[in-house]
Structure 1
């Protein structure tokens, strides 16, 4: 149990680092909380919303870790490192676009019903 708590502490430190240093992570957290609030207000299904938010935030954390490691290993510009960073950012973009689609599918119908449209 002690080992698990120690690992959880390191993980939370990583999340805190991303919060402090990554504006996109902060934006994604705020948008995720807004989506969660809308889901609760509309009585929409929470699992797809929560999984989508978790996927985006998890990929953003991986992107942050990869960028930090690559910057440390090779501070200069290199095409392969640029491609790796771009691919990691692309993964976040794809997950974000899919999350928008999930939000539209899950929140759209109850929102239209609530608004009487």
Structure 2
């Protein structure tokens, strides 16, 4: 029973990894976010940020990339259900994109808190 559970979790991790790679290969927004992740990681080493600042930075990157992935999934489902323009589908997509915007705004604020004192 435990072995079956572990195998199931490993299979789920495989699908999760494949989905993440697919996002990275096909979605421009995820590619931009990954580029930002690389830049802030370099900045973190350059400015020697604290462990807590690393935690905040990784949480923010994870939050934004997760929101981007969910937004992509929501848009894909919406387009599958209703390929032509529809006002309600448009609103759903706007809300999903808005969630990404909120995550990005919070991340920019956190980055400012971490890096502005080090720069100035």
Provide TM-score, normalisation by structure 1: 0.90
The CA deviation string for residues 46-72 of structure 1, in whole angstroms up to 9 with x for no partner, is 011111110000000000111111111
Correspondence for 1:38 among 43, 49, 61: 43
Task: Confirm or deny that 1:97 pairs with 2:105.
Answer: yes
RCO comparison, higher one (Cα < 8 Å, 6+): 1
Q: Shift of residue 111 of structure 1?
A: 2.6
Partner residue, 2:33: 28
Q: Shift of residue 80 of structure 1?
A: 0.7
Write out the 4+ residue segments of structure 1 that deviate beyond 3 Å after TM superposition: none
Structure 2 spans left out of the alignment, 5+ residues:
1-5
Distance between the aligned counterparts of 2:102 and 2:84, measured in 1?
27
What is the DSSP-based 3-state SS (H/G/I as helix, E as strand, rest coil) of the residue aligned with 1:75? coil
How many corresponding residue pairs?
112
Provide TM-score, normalisation by structure 2: 0.88
Structure 1 spans left out of the alignment, 5+ residues:
113-117
Q: Shift of residue 84 of structure 1?
A: 0.5
